[in-house]
Amino acid sequence: MASIQHLPLELKLNIFSYVYHPYDLHSLISSCPELLHAFVPNRTRILSSLLKAVILPGALHHALFASQEIDASVSGDSFVEYTQDLLENYFSPDTIVDLPTDTLGLIRLSRLYSQVSRLIDGYVCQAARRISGDDDPPWHDPAGQIPEGFAPLSSNERTRLQRAFFRHELYSRQLRRYDCSEQYELFVRRLFPWEIEEMSCVYYYFAFLARGVFGELEDELVRAVTMAPGARKMDDTEPLLLEPVVRCERCHDQYRPSSDGLTGVGPGTVRVEDDDEGSNDGGEDQMVRFDKLHIWELDLFEREDESGGRVSSGHYIPYLICRMAAIDVGSMTHLVGADVNERKNILREGIHLLGDKTLPDTISYAISSRHNEGGDRTTEGWVGDDPSHYTLGYHLFTSSRWFANSYRAMSGTHTPLMYRPRREMGYVFWDAERIESPIVKEALERPDDKVWVRAQVKNRARLGKSVEKRLERFTLPRREMAKIAAKFGGFTIPHECEW
């Protein structure tokens, strides 16, 4: 680095013009003090030049609105007015927004671009793997190994991806406090249905990441139980243990399961009177079954009670995945980039902050309320690879011109099974040349095969078993169960889970 020290400032600044990513810029100035000294007084100029180069023109408008800082002090009617004004400007064809001129605004935009860029790389990687026949790609693959033969993204493809992720960011940050009808009026109806479909692909990718996060947490819990000292799985021929008295971790009262599974203070439990305390308690070495998890504050992992007395893990986790798929780009990047223990703490602290209504809820509202004509905007047909129009993939895999101008369901019984795999394969982002390639076209046609779809559904159901179901008939010492509860419990479950 001694030679750089003697370079004139103009040449040092010229080096920055060959940097094409904020991460590379950070690495450069971190490794070379001389370039850091050149960067600091010229950072506005350098950041502006870099961001103009990496955020493509067709996505810049969306990036600038998505990166605007929300004033934390704004609330109530003031927040509603602020959101309405912002979205009016966002959708107005007369609005011209320039790059921020202040350093903090540029840093905020740079950080958002870096996060979006990393998520786009992950999305393209998993989409390419699915196209190549991998129906269960790893959810967290830092290396991002794209299968051989998948050509680099074109400028048009990258524009569509950037636009979709920036729109998701704007939607998640500005509209999470609104109900479905308000989200529809403020945002959804003002977009083409194919633009909503682009956002749905981002939502499904975030759901894929959220499933990976919860799946990792469930796997860790299963390992903790099966490897706990004294843990064993009872044979089907063995009678189940008489359930011992258990102290509720929340209220510290003593409980044992009731005979009918419905009476008592908590679902499936009855309170034990003080003079009866310990009558069936064998101390810390007493073996307990791995069930009635709500007593141990392990509600998140409890399976659904067939009696309908509880909402539980076959219910909670899909509900939370649905909500987590709607979080902002920064939160998802932070969650995915954290280690296992940190992820657990992030979930424990943040679950109760998730928004109540998401894009799938709003689309379901639009369909059920007969707003399925595509809002305020319709399109005439495919006109080529211009990113301001929909792609050949969208054109080929919508069943009619009418359907091209209607919303496609994202959740519930309205969602045909072929929608999800095509969204996961990014069919609305690719140029015609990629869509028409044999491998991609064949992959996008697979969801029309009912046998293939049934196999996918069966496989996902097999992988989606709740922790309690996977650990059915497992017993372990109460001492070990208490340790597991301390490590994995304490999640605040939303009061209503309408999934």
List the chain domain ranges.
1-54, 57-236+290-499
Strand, coil or helix: what is 246? strand
- pLDDT score at 246: 52
Residue 492's pLDDT band, with cuts at 50, 70 and 90, is low
- pLDDT score at 55: 95
* Cα first-last separation, the chain: 58
Distance of CA 291 to the CA centre of its chain: 29
- pLDDT score at 309: 44
116 vs 299: CA distance, rounded Å: 33
Q: What phi, psi does 149 have (nearest 5°)?
A: 100, -10
180 vs 407: CA distance, rounded Å: 15
Residue 414 is encoded by which pair of tokens?
Answer: 């309205």
Residue 175's pLDDT band, with cuts at 50, 70 and 90, is confident
422 vs 391: CA distance, rounded Å: 13
pLDDT at 241 over 70: no
**Cα distances (angstroms) measured from residue 274 to each of 201, 252, 287, 444:** 56, 12, 22, 64
User: Residue type for 80, please?
Assistant: V
pLDDT at 243 over 80: no
Query: Using DSSP, how many helices (H) and how many strands (E) does the chain show?
Result: 23, 6
Output Rg (C-alpha) for the chain, integer angstroms: 26
pLDDT at 13 over 60: yes
Lowest mean per-residue pLDDT among 74-83, 272-281, 342-351, 430-439: 272-281
User: How large is the average pLDDT for residues 86-102?
Assistant: 90
Is 305:267 a contact under the CB 8 Å cutoff?
Answer: yes
Distance of CA 17 to the CA centre of its chain: 34
| 11 Cβ contact partners less than 8 Å away, ≥ 6 residues apart | none
> H or E stretch including 477?
strand 474-477
- pLDDT score at 2: 52
Is 39:16 a contact under the CB 8 Å cutoff?
Answer: yes
Among 12-21, 97-106, 486-495, top mean pLDDT goes to: 97-106
Higher pLDDT, 264 or 295: 295
Per-residue pLDDT tens for 268-293? Answer: 343 434 444 444 455 667 888 887 77
426 vs 127: CA distance, rounded Å: 6
Per-residue pLDDT tens for 306-326? Answer: 444 444 445 677 778 888 888
Higher pLDDT, 451 or 29: 29
Residue 87's pLDDT band, with cuts at 50, 70 and 90, is very high
- pLDDT score at 495: 46
Among 22-36, 141-155, 234-248, top mean pLDDT goes to: 22-36
467 vs 404: CA distance, rounded Å: 41
Q: Which residues pair with 148 in a beta bridge?
A: none
User: How large is the average pLDDT for residues 466-486?
Assistant: 86
Residue 441 is encoded by which pair of tokens?
Answer: 């076209």
- pLDDT score at 233: 87
- pLDDT score at 301: 77
